[in-house]
Amino acid sequence: MTKYQLFATTPKAMEDILADELKQLGAENVHPKLAGVSFQGDIEMAYKACLWSRTANRILLPLKSFEVHSKEDLYDAVKKINWFEHFKPDDTFAVSFSAKNSEVINNTHFGALVVKDAIVDQMRAKFEKRPNIQLNRPTIKINVYLNNENAELSLDLSGESLHKRGYREANVAAPIKENLAAAMLLRSGWPEIAKQGGSLIDPMCGSGTLLLEAGLIAADYAPGLLRDYFGFLGWKKHDEDCWQKLLADAEQRKITGIENMPIIAGFDKSRRTAATAIQHVENAGFNNKIHVEKRDISDATPATSWKPGLLICNPPYGERLGDDEEISQLYLLFGEVLKANFQGWKATMIISNPEMGFRLGIRSQKPITLFNGPLECKLLRLNIEEKSFFVPKAKSQQERIERVTKALDSEVESEHSAEMFANRLKKNIKKMSRWAKQNNISSYRLYDADLPEYSVAIDIYQSDKLWVNVQEYEAPKTIAAHKANERLAGILAEIPRVLKIDKSQVLLKIRRKQKNTEQYEKQDNKANFHIIEENNCKFLTNFEDYLDTGIFLDHRPIRATIQQQAKDKNFLNLFAYTATASVQAAVGGALSTTSINASNTYLEWAEKNFALNNLSGNNRHIRADSSAWLEEQRKQDTPTQYDLIFLDPPTFSNSKRMETSFDVQQDHVGLINDALALLADEGVLYFSTNFRKFKLDDLGIINANIENITASTIPEDYSRSPKIHYCWKITHK
């Protein structure tokens, strides 16, 4: 058989696992790359990778590499390929285009159109007939990756991502993708544990992803066996006899493997979620082989007949408007359950905040880095044995502040004077106070890590008195803790002196990098609220209990725009937080406002903001997950239409309050399309995100005009950090 050069894609940090898989399947010249693995093999090897890989996303067959210095270069190179070798003019095809560091083509939609035009023009010239584009399950799928000036064009043999196994109900997403779940299991040693008859339990099983992937591994069950679509099935060079032989072999291995499965069980406190997991178990053919029941984490315990094995789970990381204390207590409880009921077992869990792992009170092996969507996570692996137990100590923000205060009082070094910082602060206050006065702005960002040695953000809030909110960006691990404390102490000493205020008006918070949810976590319970004003509106702010204060100052311009455009409009505010945008819409004369949020705490705060502005009328505050609410509304026969919509979702969430996880990069297309279904014909949707690496996929947004208005929505006080957010204006075509 012909040997092909092939490439398998996978999420970052899973390359080595995938390389091992491919070697076991018989691949040759296997070389891990960034987010993928290159390898060689014949057509049977390519089919095996599609059928048997548990961690790959796609299997690509490169057809041509070429340089692109212009769109004409791309068009000409694609047109030179003999596409009739691969599919017929009456077939369908789709193009996936991605670009990195390209100055020629950086719009993925435009790049895909150029490729499409080249193929269509070639086919039409030869046959006077053209193939049609079909985004969902085309005859063949073409993948183009442009890195700088180097393009790689491939056939996507998988057709759609291999993490889609076929057992999941179409309308049910998972907090983690199936190939990430498989990677967790493989990293945890589950294949060997299963061979030895060890049991597996997921005490927070959700829709059952970890259970199903554990079952597939234990039963020697090919993860692609349930799929009815692959990209190679319509390819002209497809070898059907070879494929059917592989399917028959996989089916026989599955039948034999299922008979010898160990105990696999899952618990979930939600009856609805447990029912979904049971449906997935049935879909995969694991009836009577995987046990699922409604059970709270506090009641998680193995049956006495179950052989100790692996406990594995994906606990909640927190949500955009979540309660850190609630999650902290969950981890403390979970640790006690593990110690009491699972001694002699191994445990594995994936978490986004390693500090939460300490709440378990069980020492772990060296954590393994994995990525859940864009979020960097750690895989904790524990041996649940008494010698690994310890009493977890709380590491509160208050303790950190006390240490800084001690450094402030001790006058350890002259650096506490922080003269450079003081000079910069004086310069900033002179400039920014003049700007704020001219623009009638009372609350603004004064300083944002302008000097790397003094890495804090400082916000000014004018209320009953001047309040200063100081947010420390967590120091790198290379900076000694005492040195970081001393520098912070110097900052705290200079702020009241430069601004001529009492030190009690300066409040410190700690903002750790790359923790997408931390600004919403509860820090204290003092409940001291202060009133600020913006655009003739009043808002309650809190400088002590939460890392963020109740209002996002960087959204000041978009709130002003909403107020200006809201007159006689019906306004919808999704992921509404404390509904500051809704208040501005109501003050601007909106006919109605509807604010959707999952947190009671913030909805109550929103209602207080409305009362503070003496707003009555048609203003609704609905507690719901905005994504689920949108999907439900869209399914209505005549969904309510809104003239103005503000959509500002979190970057990532896997809260157990939600039926699924949310990843703004992966899920924004569906979210925006659902919102557009509720947008009136002449309406305007404003979509915003603070994910710094975000790329809008305008190709998937249906029948819409899309305008990037980010530059006009970044206020002067945030101009030093232009990536604080991105914003688009979207309307119907």
pLDDT band (50, 70, 90) for residue 76: very high
Whether 219 and 287 map to the same domain: the answer is yes
Please report the pLDDT score of residue 479 as a whole number. Answer: 65
Please report the pLDDT score of residue 653 as a whole number. Answer: 76
- pTM here? 0.68
**Strand pairing of 642-647 and 570-574?**
parallel
* Model confidence at 411: pLDDT above 50: no
Q: Which of 158-167, 403-412, 705-714 has the lowest mean pLDDT?
A: 403-412
What domain range is 499 assigned to?
A: 397-520
No. of helices (H) and no. of strands (E), the chain: 20, 30
Residue 137, classified by CB atoms within 10 Å of its CB into exposed (0-12), middle (13-18) or buried (19+), is: middle
Please report the pLDDT score of residue 481 as a whole number. Answer: 67
Among the three residues 335, 358, 388, which one is the final residue of a domain in this structure?
388
Please report the pLDDT score of residue 659 as a whole number. Answer: 54
Please report the pLDDT score of residue 224 as a whole number. Answer: 98
Whether 353 and 212 map to the same domain: the answer is yes
Gap between the Cα atoms of 54 and 185, Å rounded: 10
* Model confidence at 527: pLDDT above 90: no
Query: For 580-632, what is each residue's pLDDT tens digit?
Result: 999 999 999 999 999 999 888 899 999 999 999 999 889 999 999 999 999 99
In a domain, 298, yes or no: yes
**Strand pairing of 28-33 and 36-41?**
antiparallel
N residues, the chain: 733
> What mean pLDDT comes out for the span 217-244?
97
Whether 403 and 307 map to the same domain: the answer is no
Which tokens in the block code for residue 381?
């692996």
Name the 3-class secondary structure at 417. Answer: helix
In a domain, 163, yes or no: no
Whether 273 and 298 map to the same domain: the answer is yes
Whether 189 and 315 map to the same domain: the answer is yes
Whether 558 and 700 map to the same domain: the answer is yes
Q: Which residues neighbour 524 within 8 Å (Cβ) at sequence distance 6 or greater?
A: 397, 398, 544, 545
In a domain, 658, yes or no: yes
Whether 614 and 650 map to the same domain: the answer is yes
pLDDT band (50, 70, 90) for residue 214: very high
Please report the pLDDT score of residue 316 as a whole number. Answer: 84
- CA 589, 590, 592, 596 torsion-angle sign: negative
Whether 375 and 406 map to the same domain: the answer is no
At CA 336, angle to CA 332 and CA 341, rounded to 5? 150
Q: How many domains does the chain have?
A: 4
Gap between the Cα atoms of 119 and 83, Å rounded: 7
What's the CATH number where 56 sits? 3.30.2130.30
> What mean pLDDT comes out for the span 190-210?
97
In a domain, 532, yes or no: no
Name the 3-class secondary structure at 720. Answer: coil
In a domain, 278, yes or no: yes
Among the three residues 473, 498, 520, which one is the final residue of a domain in this structure?
520
> What mean pLDDT comes out for the span 490-495?
91
At CA 364, angle to CA 292 and CA 349, rounded to 5? 30
31 vs 39, 92, 660, CA distance in Å? 6, 33, 34
Gap between the Cα atoms of 339 and 389, Å rounded: 8
* Model confidence at 414: pLDDT above 80: no
Whether 512 and 582 map to the same domain: the answer is no
Please report the pLDDT score of residue 654 as a whole number. Answer: 67
Whether 424 and 333 map to the same domain: the answer is no
- CA 179, 181, 183, 186 torsion-angle sign: negative
What's the CATH number where 437 sits? 3.30.750.80
User: What distance, in Å, lies between the first and last C-alpha atoms of the chain?
Assistant: 51
Whether 290 and 310 map to the same domain: the answer is yes
Query: For 439-465, what is each residue's pLDDT tens digit?
Result: 999 999 999 999 888 889 999 999 999
Q: By the 8 A CB rule, do 151 and 65 touch?
A: yes
Residue 635, classified by CB atoms within 10 Å of its CB into exposed (0-12), middle (13-18) or buried (19+), is: exposed
> What mean pLDDT comes out for the span 525-529?
73
Please report the pLDDT score of residue 319 as a whole number. Answer: 45
Query: For 335-368, what is each residue's pLDDT tens digit?
Result: 999 999 999 999 999 998 887 888 899 999 999 9
Among the three residues 356, 388, 420, which one is the final residue of a domain in this structure?
388
DSSP, residue by residue, 241-306: HHHHHHHHHHHHHHHHHHHT---EEEEES-HHHHHHHHHHHHHTT-TTTEEEEE--GGG----TTS
Q: How many CB atoms lie within 10 A of CB 204?
A: 24
Please report the pLDDT score of residue 343 as a whole number. Answer: 96
In a domain, 96, yes or no: yes
42 vs 45, 48, 277, 347, CA distance in Å? 5, 10, 38, 39
Whether 516 and 558 map to the same domain: the answer is no
In a domain, 234, yes or no: no
Gap between the Cα atoms of 668 and 492, Å rounded: 40
Residue 440, classified by CB atoms within 10 Å of its CB into exposed (0-12), middle (13-18) or buried (19+), is: exposed
In a domain, 138, yes or no: yes
> What mean pLDDT comes out for the span 383-412?
66
Which tokens in the block code for residue 614?
């003496």
Residue 341, classified by CB atoms within 10 Å of its CB into exposed (0-12), middle (13-18) or buried (19+), is: middle
What's the CATH number where 661 sits? 3.40.50.150
